[in-house]
Amino acid sequence: MKKLILLTGMLLMMMVKTALASPAAPKIEPIKPMSTSEIRETINQPTTYIFEGIKGRELTLSLWAGQLTAELYTPSGQSLGVIEKKDNQWVGQLPESGIYRMRVVPKGETSSFVLERDFNAKWIYKPDRPMPIAFGENEATLKLKMSGYQIQPLTIQGKRGQTMTVTASNKNLDVAIESPSGQLLDQGEGQTFAQLPESGVYRVLIVANRPIKPSIKVALQ
């Protein structure tokens, strides 16, 4: 951790000096240490996250919400790959030891996202399942059976101006609401809600890092 903090400070000092020396210098991109295994943020410009890796260790990077691209670089500057929504996971062995960089670029003016970093863990993105809301009703409950490191998207038709509330019977999982255009509206542990900005098919993301059998309730008002 001390090494990450020191490296972050040195990089920022170098970038500030460069900016002061040249009035036409480009806007400084933020550099942040990835001190936990999960990032939940909203960004409005390209941002670099750094973490320490060990040669030969298997790493899994999973993007389970957000409209962005994330590119992973080795300590020597080699690109290992790009993660996008359509290909939401990178799995591989680290080729060298040192400080790795992950540059995250929002596709719009801003992007809220959740990005997971796991060593020796492979996330499985399951096929979409529709929420069984009957005609004339405004809520439904669905029972799930999930293994560890699984993401289950649930689809539901929503109208602009409605409020969607998602409640899980077990708090030991994450839930999130994603708009038809792919924006992450809100997320939380076991419960979340959001006012819908547009009409269309929304996705409720259920994220479990351990075997669990939760009941998921989705209500529209």
Return the pLDDT at 61. Answer: 87
User: Domain 125-220: which topology?
Assistant: Jelly Rolls (2.60.120)
121 or 17: which leads in pLDDT: 121
Q: How far is CA 72 from the centre of its chain?
A: 15
Tokens of 90: 């990178």
Closest CA to 107 of 63, 167, 150: 63
100-151 confidence digits (pLDDT tens): 999 999 888 888 888 888 876 667 888 999 999 888 889 999 999 998 778 8
The full set of domain ranges for the chain reads 25-122, 125-220
Task: Choose among 113, 93, 94, 92: nearest CA to 104.
Answer: 113
Evaluate whether 50 touches 7 at the Cβ level (below 8 Å).
yes
More confident residue, 81 or 11: 81
Q: Which residues contact 144 (CB under 8 A, 6 or more apart)?
A: 152, 206, 212, 213, 214, 215, 216
Cβ atoms of residues 170 and 143 within 8 Å: no
To the nearest whole number, what is the mean pLDDT of the chain? 84
Q: Do 25-122 and 125-220 share a fold?
A: yes
25-122, what's its fold?
A: Jelly Rolls (2.60.120)
Whether residue 8 contacts residue 1, with contact meaning beta carbons closer than 8 Å, is answered with no
β pairing state of 191-195 and 215-220: unpaired
pLDDT in tens, 166-215: 999 988 888 999 999 888 898 888 999 999 999 999 999 998 878 889 99
pLDDT at 12 > cutoff 60: no
How many Cα neighbours within 13 Å face the side chain of 174?
Answer: 20
Threshold 0.75, pTM exceeds = no
Is the pLDDT confidence value at 221 over 90? Answer: yes
Helices first, then strands: H and E counts in the chain: 1, 19
Residue 74 DSSP class? -
Query: How, if at all, do strands 98-106 and 200-208 pair?
Result: unpaired
Residue 14 has a pLDDT of: 54
Closest CA to 204 of 183, 182, 175: 175
Higher pLDDT, 37 or 1: 37
